[in-house]
Structures are given as C-alpha cells and as structure tokens.
Amino acid sequence: MVRQNTMRPFRPILRALQQSNNRAPLLHQQRGFQTSRSCRSADEKPQPFKNQLYESTQQRLRRERAEQERYAQYQNESQGGRYAALMFALVFFSTGAYYLGSLKPAKLPTTSTSNLYELEPPRHDVSPSNLQAAWADFVEILGKENVSTEYADLVSHAGSDWSSYKTKENEKPFLVLYPSTTEEVSRIMKICHQRLIPVTPYSGGTSLEGHFAPTRGGACVDFRRMDRILEIHKSDLDVVVQPALGWEELNEALVDQGLFFPPDPGPGAMIGGMVGTGCSGTNAYRYGTMREWVLSLTVVLADGTVIKTRQRPRKSSAGYDMTRLFIGSEGTLGLVTEATLKLTVKPKSESVAVASFPSIHSAAQCVTRVVEEGIPVAGVEILDDVQMKCINESGTTSRQWKEAPTIFFKFTGTPGGVKEQIGLVQKIASSAKAGSFEFARSDEEMRSLWSARKEALWSVMAMRRGPEDHVWTTDVAVPMSRLPDIIEATKQDMTQSGLLAGICGHVGDGNFHAIILFNEAEKKTAEGVVHRMVKRAVQMEGTVTGEHGVGLIKRDYLEHEVGESTVDAMRRLKLALDPLRLLNCDKVVRVEPPKPGEIKEW
C-alpha cells in the first residue's frame, strides 16, 4: 500500500510564503519602512509574517491609488496641449499635401489657341546674382573676350536711330554674347533656359520696328562672328551661309560664279535678320520675297535643341513646312545659325529708267498698268516729290533731280529683252502723263539713276533739325488695284499733318513706305499719320506690314488684319516652341496683357 504525501498540494503555497518572507526586509528597505537598528532594543523581536504580509499589501494598494491619481491629474492638465499638438499636426500635413499637389504638372491645354488673358506672366530671373553667375558660364563657353558688359556695347545693342521704336532707359541687355558656332549658341540657350534668362538675337541691327529692343533685359546674342559662306553648290544653285553674312557681301562673292541672290533690302542687312523679318527689297516684283529664296534652316530652339528644317532639294512635300515657320518669326521661335539659300543665274543685261509724273496718283496708275500688261520688269520703285526734294537738299547723290513724284524701273534679261521692256514701259508712262522718261545707256548711268532710290531713308535722316529729331519708317501693302487710292490718301494726310514726310516703296507688288521726321512735340501727330495709314491698308484688304515685320510697333494691329483667333493660334505656336517665353520677348504677339493706354484705339 502506497503512502500518500498529504503535504504535496500545499508545497507551492508554502514556497511562495517562504519567498515573500525572505523578500520582506528588502521591501521595507526600498520603501523606507526599515527601522534603524540603533533604535531597536536588543530584546526586540521581529514582527510575525502575517503582519508583514498585511502591511506590504496595504502599501501596494496605496501606491496604486497614488499612481491613478497622478495619471488622472496628468490627463486633465495635458488635454489642451494634446489638442494643440493635434491641430498642429493636421495643419502641417494638410499644408504638405497641398504643396505636393501644387507640384503636379498642370493639365495640358485642350483648346487649339491661347488667349492672352488666360496666361500667367512670364517668370524670368534677371537678378544681378543670377546674371553674374551666368556670366561665368558664358565665359567658360566663349572666352572672356567674347562676353561683353561694356556700356557702349549694351547701348548699341538696345536700339538704333533709324528704328521707329524709341528704346526705354531700362531696356538694355545685361551682357552681349558673341558665339561662333551652332554648338556655342546651343550651350548658351541651355544655360539661359536653366536660369530663366531672356535672350534677344542680333545680326545687322537694321530693323525698323523695334525688333531687337531688349524689353526684358537679359542676354543679347550677337552673331557677328558667324559671317561665313560655308558651302557654294554652283550646279545646284544654292549656298549655305551663317546669319551675320550681309546680302551685299554674298553677292560680291557670287559674281565670279555668274550667280546672284535676288532679295535686296536696305544696305547693311544680314541674312539672319532677313530671314527673321521675311524681307524683300527692290527686286521683289520679279523675284519675290525672302520666303521664296530659303531652302533650309538650322535653328537653335529655346531649350538649346538644334534642328534642321529640311534637306537641299528645290521642292519637298515631307511633313510640315518648318522652314517657313521660322521665316518672319523675328527670333521669337528659335535662333537661326545657318541658312541654305536658293540662287539664280546673274542676268546677261541690266538697265534702269526714271520717269517723273505730275501727281503721286498718276505715278501709281502707271505702275498698275505695267503690272496688268505683264511686262517682266525686275523692279518698280516710287518716290514722291518730298522724297526727291530731300535727296537734292541732302546731297546724298551726285546729281540733281526733278522734284516731282518719280518712278524708278529696273530691267534685266537679254540685251534684246531689256530693250523691248524699256520701249513698252515708255509708252505706258507717256499715256500716264509722264513729264520725263530717262533710261541708262551705260553701267555708270545705271548706278547714278538707281542711287536715288537707295538713298531715300538716309536723305530724310540728313534733314534732321537737331538731335531731338527722330525718323519713323513704316510700310504697308495692299492689292495692286487699291495702290493708287491708298498712296493718294496717305500723301494728303501727310501734307495736312505739317510734318516732313515722304513716300517711297516697292510698288510693283503693292508695297510702299512712309518716312516721317518728327520731334517729341510732334510725336502724337506722327503716330496719328501712321495709325491712319495702317488702318487704311487693313480696310483695303491689305497688310499692316509688307516687309519690315511686326516687331513691337505693329503687334497690336495683327488682330485687325487676321483676327483674334489667328493671333491666339500664333501665340500657341510661340508657347509650344518657347514655353518659358525667353526668345525676343514681346515681339510679334504679346505674352502678357497690355497696360492701360498702351493700345491705340482702332
């Protein structure tokens, strides 16, 4: 029979009691209840275990109640602080979420045009610190000698005496850059794009409508070091040139090849500016404008990307006509660094004839009849009586002229063909009551007769009464049938204004110019004459500019000529190729709403 251990169920309890008994003195020490041994009597006996256990339990309960009271007190005191912390967290995270949301790219436009009043203002950085930092970048690319901050350079690249736009005091570039290659231009534009620096292109500086005025400051890129003929393809009748090559220098280089480049605007004009304005000149009636003589362009876009618009064949139906997109864009869509131009064979024979008329209206009627008869004259130019008087008084030519409305005819072709053309034109001039008709019999006479037309602008500038006088040169074009009417009306308006103002132009294609001399006191009067001239042209289904380009002066007239939607479409093209609006700011189309009073009432 196995004997059961009756104490086994109580062993865990006894063990726990023993452990508690062993820990009791330690608990007393920790809680400050141990009595100093020096205070005990020698014969004092320890408390029974039951009393010690009871006292320990009571102390634990008191401690727990004290902790609960402290926690409740903390809860009451920190409720306001925790509420403030919660609100701070909500504001912080809400602001962060809004900021991150604002970094999300804006939605792509869903319309085909860009209305001016829906645009945000351009964000350029022309701060001194940014421009000075950029100066170091440009010096690294071009060398210090090709980065100028000289005051004289800045002023000369801000405007000119013959421009109709008067540059404001603050409209000067911070620096002028002189690149020599397409790659350097590309690197310049990458820096300007990264640093948000506006850029104004410059070649010959002969533009007349404020085309190179740096309205936003920044950098001016002068192409004068890019003035070379790169390739001549005689068999293909084309040439590859850089933008700062003058059209006169080009033709001098082509003489030995028996070739020539027909567009001939004013002296000093360069290929880059001619492309930018889509110019023409005295040969436009026979040979057309610049648009007909450009085959291909190498262009640096606003972000530094380099594109070539097409190859060299005379015709192509491959895709969009990117070449003509940039012709007439005035440097607002890209910077032209190379141009492939068409050439033609130099005529075997040339001659010039000059005829004077009793009135500007009869002279214009003569031109209309020559055009209607289809006589292939090379050029037809008109100068009114005031213009002829200025030429005489200024002494800009070697001879004296009859001070009457005068037409200058240029003939080219075979010797027999030139002779036939002169005879036909002489008959028409006689029927139009021409007072005289003189044609050149030698090269020397030809140069002498044609010289008056080329000196028109300079002869008026020579008539300035002092440094306060300015010259306003502008142009319009109308259908040929309306040419006599608009010239006569403009002539009458000029006479009534009391200003010294003359008329000249390439009337063979309905294009004529007004050259007006005025001072600050006469500025409003001059503005009125030009405004009415432009309005007259639009009303006659003409254009606000035949060859000078838009620039700053004509941009607000575009809507009246082609309509608001067309201008909005032009603005969309601008934003597509130059989204940061860095290139030749404010020209052709506005990218920022006008200030009150800036736009003349139509």
> What CATH number should be reported for the domain holding residue 449?
3.40.462.10
Is position 96 within any domain?
A: no
Give the end of a domain, one of 536, 552, 568: 552
Mean pLDDT (10-residue bins), the chain, 602 residues:
46 49 45 42 52 64 68 58 69 68 68 93 96 97 97 94 87 97 98 98 93 96 98 97 98 96 92 96 91 97 98 94 97 98 95 94 92 92 93 88 94 93 95 91 85 84 89 94 93 96 89 94 96 97 96 96 97 97 97 90 90
Q: Which two tokens stand for residue 108?
A: 């792509």
Rounded to whole angstroms, what are the CA distances from 354 to 32, 114, 459?
130, 50, 18
Same domain assignment for residues 401 and 460: yes
DSSP 8-state code for residue 106: P
Instruction: Tally the domains of the chain.
Output: 2
Same domain assignment for residues 385 and 436: yes
Q: What is the pLDDT of residue 458?
A: 85
Whether the Cβ atoms of residue 337 and residue 182 lie closer than 8 Å to each other: yes
> Which of 173, 168, 226, 180 lies closest to 198 in space, CA to CA?
173
Is position 305 within any domain?
A: yes
Same domain assignment for residues 353 and 287: no
Same domain assignment for residues 446 and 502: yes
Q: Which two tokens stand for residue 551?
A: 């620039």
Q: What is the pLDDT of residue 64?
A: 66
Q: What is the pLDDT of residue 434?
A: 92
Rounded to whole angstroms, what are the CA distances from 53 to 12, 40, 48, 67?
17, 21, 9, 21
Same domain assignment for residues 306 and 455: no
Give the end of a domain, one of 309, 327, 345: 345
Same domain assignment for residues 269 and 338: yes
Instruction: Name the residue type at position 308.
Output: K
Residue 429: how many other CB atoms lie within 10 Å:
26
Three-state secondary structure of 452-517: HHHCHHHHHHCCCCCCCCEEEEEEEECCHHHHHHHHHHHHHHHHHHCCEEEEEECHHHCEEEEEEE
Q: Compute the distance between CA of residue 188 and CA of residue 141 in angstroms, rounded to an integer.
A: 8
Q: Compute the distance between CA of residue 596 and CA of residue 433 in angstroms, rounded to an integer.
A: 50
Q: What is the pLDDT of residue 133?
A: 96
> Which of 458, 454, 529, 450 lies closest to 496 in space, CA to CA?
529
Q: Which domain holds residue 360?
A: 349-552
> What CATH number should be reported for the domain holding residue 340?
3.30.465.10
Same domain assignment for residues 416 and 471: yes
Is position 68 within any domain?
A: no
Q: What is the pLDDT of residue 140?
A: 97
Residue the block writes with tokens 């006292």: 55
Same domain assignment for residues 469 and 436: yes
Same domain assignment for residues 280 and 341: yes
Same domain assignment for residues 288 and 336: yes
Length of the chain: 602
Give the end of a domain, one of 345, 361, 377: 345
Q: Which residues contact 339 (CB under 8 A, 6 or more apart)?
A: 240, 241, 242, 243, 271, 272, 275, 294, 296, 297, 298
Same domain assignment for residues 291 and 390: no
Residue the block writes with tokens 């634990």: 60
Is position 448 within any domain?
A: yes
Is position 183 within any domain?
A: no
The continuous run of DSSP H or E covering 413 comes out as strand 406-413
Same domain assignment for residues 294 and 361: no
Is position 598 within any domain?
A: no
Is position 374 within any domain?
A: yes
Is position 381 within any domain?
A: yes
